[in-house]
Amino acid sequence: MTNSKLCFIGAGFHATTNIIPSAVEAGAVIQAIATRHMERSTAVLQRFGSRGTAYDDYKSMLKQEKCDGVVIVAQPHDQFSLALDCVRAGKNVYVDKPLGWNATEADQIADAADQAGVVLMVGFMKRYAPCYMKVKEWISAGTLGEARSFQLTFAVDSTPFCTNEEEFMKLVAIHMVDLMRYLFGEVLQVSGFSNNDNGRIANTLSLQFENGVVGSVYFAGMSAWSRESESLLVTFDHGYVQANDIETVTIHQSLPSDAASWKSLTEQVTVFSPSNPTMSGGVKDLYLRGFVGEMAHFMKCCKEGVTPQSSGRDNVATMSLCDRILHVQKGE
């Protein structure tokens, strides 16, 4: 654990439910919070037992506070300008996705961070979720041979905050788009279809990656999926790895044998899962979803001055892939 001093811009539902608690759990000290209203900033500081300073103007906070980093969790279309101001003020910055509404904006903010020499990290928490870190570990190890293909499903009720396909892609599905890049690298070809009705989204995709991996993806955003569901199945030369709903990872290893596999004990199945203690509370969810991991990673990068795994520069490729997927689905 660290004692990094962080300043926060924004204190809405996502910030106070996921990001700020995760930062505290990872060892952060809340040095200051800026919202549009002093009363709101003060109330959030009190909620988390912080003696930090409340602001109703983030620019004043940037001028007055010396901190290890600034965490921005604001309205999506505000985050680009907020991040740019923080970077130009010489602050290390964590920004919730999306950082920039397209690849052009993402590239602009990445350039600004490079010029300022500051850490710029984007909130793609799937990379820091234990289940997907385990999948990545098996892909990198090569124990099961080469990864050949995958099937990815992500379905959620996005209707309260997404009114069209682009909003769904860049506010919701973007996490899974970034996860695919994290696991399999860059995409060579994309094809797909959609059956959308304004805020009701149904998408299928087929992707081929530069390393040869192929994958099929199903995205759904509609009230039918009030119970969120996500799963990933990766097929290797000698087995498969399956992650279900961020809580379990199953490794099926088919060991080479000269005889038919049913003649001996040649197959091995291992299941990884968290324990289920009565004392875990809501913090368990913050760990499994990757929020605590990404906050710990951001603070480590700030302290050591190293490039984050989900950096602002890497984010350019994720935004570009989102744009490519949207163009394909529109038949462009």
Q: 117-176 pLDDT, tens per residue?
A: 999 999 999 999 999 999 999 999 999 999 999 999 999 999 998 999 999 999 999 999
Give the chain's radius of gyration (CA, Å).
21
- C-alpha 98/C-alpha 100 separation (Å) is 6
* Main-chain phi, psi angles of 188, to 5 degrees: -90, -50
pLDDT value, residue 263: 72
The whole-angstrom separation of Cα 272 and Cα 131 is 8
Helix H or strand E segment including 27: none
Domains and CATH numbers, the chain: 5-125+294-315 (3.40.50.720), 130-278 (3.30.360.10)
Q: What is the mean pLDDT of the chain?
A: 94
- How much of the chain is helix, strand and coil, in % rounded to 5? 40, 25, 30
Dump pLDDT digits (tens) for 70-85.
Answer: 999 999 999 999 999 9
pLDDT digits (tens, 9 = 90+) for 195-214: 999 889 999 999 999 999 99
Q: Kindly state the greatest CA–CA separation across the chain.
A: 73
Q: How far is CA 93 from the centre of its chain?
A: 16
DSSP string, 196-222: -BTTBEEEEEEEEETTS-EEEEEEEES
Positive/negative CA dihedral, 72, 170, 321, 143: positive
pLDDT digits (tens, 9 = 90+) for 37-68: 999 999 999 999 999 999 999 999 999 999 99
pLDDT tens per residue, range 177-186: 999 999 999 9
Write a three-state SS string for 216-273: EEEEEECHHHCCCEEEEEEEECCEEEEEECCCEEEEEEECCCCCCHHHCCCEEEEEEC
Residue 30 vs residues 151, 223, 300, 304, 312: alpha-carbon distances, Å: 40, 36, 16, 20, 23
Query: Residue 331 is inside which H or E element, if any?
Result: none
CA torsion, ordered 109, 82, 91, 27, to nearest 10 deg: -110
Query: What pLDDT score was predicted for residue 259?
Result: 65
CB 71 within 8 A of CB 9: yes
Please work out, in degrees rounded to the nearest 5, the angle formed at the alpha carbon of residue 180 by the alpha carbons of 178 and 184.
125
Does residue 256 carry a pLDDT above 90?
Answer: no
**pTM for the predicted model, two decimal places:** 0.94
Type and span of the H or E element at 79: helix 79-88
Report whether 160 contacts 210 (CB < 8 A): no
